[in-house]
Chain A
Amino acid sequence: MTNDTFHRLAIIGAGTMGLGIAEFLASVGYNVAIYESSSKAWKNNWSRLKHRLSKQVERGKLTTKEMKELCQRIHLVSSLSDLREMDLIIEAVVENIEVKKELFSQLSQIVSDTTILASNTSSLSITEIAAAAANPERVLGLHFFNPAVKMPLVEVIRGEVTELKWMEEVTQWIKEIGKEPVQVADSPGFLVNRVARPFHIESYRLISEGLADKAQVDRILRAAGFKMGPFELQDLIGIDINLAASVSVYRGFFAEPRFRPHYRQQRMMESGALGRKTGKGHFTYES
């Protein structure tokens, strides 16, 4: 698949999200350049991706040829200056504003006048990241959800100075590659993380006020049509990740009371009960 506007694509950061987005783009036929500053991280995550793909081959979901082609479409580059000719670069490095600002500043010196720079941040201000770049009107957010290969939603986030023209072109392109874009104004938590907050925080209030117990809240909300109740969902997401999202939205809105996290989220994290990944969260799990 090709597109006149965005043909030469690059990803920065080969973590779960970066490599996930690269895998998705390769799966729809694009060649993707990827830059990762840590060779150890690249080796680990690349072999994990290949392992996962070979499992799919074993299960007959992918042919050996398809797997080989998909992997060949993802190229590791050794320097940011190799990204000079790109149409679109998606940044997916660590969620640290200083790191991202430094990267966008550097990148904007390297790339051409027409390159779009996108950040996959889930919590930082697109406007702040953009301000570090030489051409902030060409910076926007592209928030993919984990796992990027499967999850259809992409939040296309418009910073304060992002040009509407680029918002429209990127949105159109996201549609063409088979995802569902939604345009969102740059604001704390963007759309999904913000609107989903009450689902998580109110559940803590229900139990701490003794109005219901955890299993009961989950049962009732499942009966109302939710795939998972808030407590089992938090165990899947990770108590720490969910708390970080709560705190980030709360701070972003300057302590708006609707978003105030609950101290029991904090206690859970302090106790090391982080959810499925530690075998214990709201509920216990056999490893």
Chain B
Amino acid sequence: MSRRVILAGNGALYPEIANYLKLQGWMVYSVEESWQEREKIHAVLEIESGFNDDKRQLLIEVEKILPPDIPIFTSVLHRTATEIASWVRVPERIIGFSPLLLSEMEILEVSSPLQVRDQQKWAKFTTIWSEIGKQVEIVGDEPGLVFPRTLALLVNEATFALSERIANARDIDLAMKLGTNFPEGPLSWADQVGIDYIYAILTGLYREYGEDRYRPAPLLRKMIYAGYLGKEVGRGFYDYD
């Protein structure tokens, strides 16, 4: 069945996710385009990181357009689904999800807000993903879920090692690929994903847990200031021509 979905929010992942969903035969609308189709929409995917108030405003806007039984999948890289659900009128339709590697991974990680009482009814929202071959894993509701959280911590440690001049970037990546069989060196992986996404996950974890282990390496913050956000913009830990 060809699903009609609203893809909302900004970020480097937007075109990749839009393309992927179209290739699966889904019809993808922006928030602006969705007014005419509002009765036919099956779900919303909202990928705003949540650094500022834009995410909240966007969700309030989307809720005005849609009937109350339409699920809203919202990126939980930086904030929990529970916090996000607290902003909206119908928290039971909020599903936290990770937009990272959405097109590549066979698994889609989702989390449920604390406000959801009827878990069975909530879980039914996730079944649309099996129509395009995704296996849904329901995990606990903390920023970054499982894979993004793991990746962000590996990148953070590699960044600390780089700033402490333990080794250069190329050697750090080479060592992690050859020494532990990582599919990608953490620094070049961060460049591909986007430094801003890695930073969003770390600051989200740091805010929720208040623990030093999630403190972002100062170099990551500097890269954000400098606009060295990774491959997408031509510069991150490496230069790209």
Q: Does A260 contact B (CB under 8 A)?
A: yes
Can you offer 13 A-B residue contacts whose CB atoms are under 8 A? A155-B179, A184-B166, A191-B166, A192-B176, A194-B161, A196-B176, A197-B157, A198-B154, A206-B146, A257-B211, A257-B212, A258-B156, A258-B213
The 10 A-B pairs with the shortest beta carbon distances in the complex, nearest first, are: A211-B140, A225-B183, A198-B153, A192-B179, A182-B171, A153-B178, A223-B107, A257-B212, A153-B179, A258-B213
Tell me if B151 and A192 are in contact (CB < 8 A): no
Report the bound CA distance from A217 to B109 in whole Å.
11
Report the bound CA distance from A27 to B146 in whole Å.
42
Mostly, the A contact residues are mixed
Tell me if B147 and A221 are in contact (CB < 8 A): yes
Q: Does B36 contact A (CB under 8 A)?
A: no
Known pairs A212-B146, A224-B105 / 10 extra A-B pairs, C-beta < 8 Å:
A182-B174, A195-B161, A198-B150, A203-B150, A212-B140, A220-B137, A221-B150, A223-B107, A226-B182, A258-B160
Report the bound CA distance from A155 to B179 in whole Å.
9
Report the bound CA distance from A202 to B109 in whole Å.
17
Tell me if A195 and B157 are in contact (CB < 8 A): yes
Q: Does A228 contact B (CB under 8 A)?
A: yes
Tell me if B140 and A191 are in contact (CB < 8 A): no
Report the bound CA distance from A195 to B177 in whole Å.
11
Chain A residues lying within 8 Å of B140, measured Cβ to Cβ, are: 206, 209-212
Q: Does A219 contact B (CB under 8 A)?
A: yes
Q: Does B142 contact A (CB under 8 A)?
A: yes
A191 and B172 in contact, given A199-B154, A226-B183 (Cβ under 8 angstroms): yes
**Interface residue from A187, A196, A258 paired with B166 (Cβ < 8 Å):** A187
Q: Does A227 contact B (CB under 8 A)?
A: yes
Q: Does B128 contact A (CB under 8 A)?
A: no
Chain A residues lying within 8 Å of B6, measured Cβ to Cβ, are: none
**Interface residue from B167, B174, B179 paired with A185 (Cβ < 8 Å):** B167
Chain A residues lying within 8 Å of B211, measured Cβ to Cβ, are: 257
Tell me if B186 and A195 are in contact (CB < 8 A): yes
Chain B residues lying within 8 Å of A153, measured Cβ to Cβ, are: 174-175, 178-179
Q: Does A45 contact B (CB under 8 A)?
A: no
Query: Nearest Cβ in chain B — how far from A78, in angstroms?
Result: 35
A202 and B157 in contact, given A220-B107, A228-B181 (Cβ under 8 angstroms): no
Number of interface residues of A (CB under 8 A): 41
Tell me if A187 and B101 are in contact (CB < 8 A): no
Task: Name A residues whose Cβ lies closer than 8 Å to a Cβ of B.
Answer: 145, 151-153, 155, 180, 182-185, 187, 190-192, 194-199, 202-203, 206, 209-212, 216-217, 219-221, 223-228, 257-258, 260
Query: Nearest Cβ in chain B — how far from A178, in angstroms?
Result: 13
Considering the complex, give the chain B residue whose CB is closest to the CB of A203: B150
Q: How large is the interface on B (under 10, 10 to 19, 20 to 34, 35 or more residues)?
A: 35 or more
Q: Does B37 contact A (CB under 8 A)?
A: no
Tell me if A184 and B171 are in contact (CB < 8 A): yes
Tell me if A202 and B153 are in contact (CB < 8 A): yes
Report the bound CA distance from A195 to B176 in whole Å.
8
Query: Nearest Cβ in chain B — how far from A89, in angstroms?
Result: 24
Report the bound CA distance from A258 to B160 in whole Å.
11
Q: Does B149 contact A (CB under 8 A)?
A: yes
Tell me if B212 and A216 are in contact (CB < 8 A): no
Report the bound CA distance from A155 to B171 in whole Å.
10
Chain A residues lying within 8 Å of B215, measured Cβ to Cβ, are: 258
B residues 181-215 in Cβ contact with A at 8 Å: 181-184, 186, 211-213, 215
Report the bound CA distance from A198 to B174 in whole Å.
18
Chain B residues lying within 8 Å of A202, measured Cβ to Cβ, are: 149-150, 153
Chain B residues lying within 8 Å of A192, measured Cβ to Cβ, are: 175-176, 179-180
Chain A residues lying within 8 Å of B171, measured Cβ to Cβ, are: 182-184, 191
B residues 93-136 in Cβ contact with A at 8 Å: 101, 104-107, 109, 135
Chain A residues lying within 8 Å of B154, measured Cβ to Cβ, are: 195-196, 198-199
Tell me if A225 and B150 are in contact (CB < 8 A): no
Q: Does B12 contact A (CB under 8 A)?
A: no
Considering the complex, give the chain B residue whose CB is closest to the CB of A260: B213
A219 and B139 in contact, given A182-B167, A258-B213 (Cβ under 8 angstroms): no
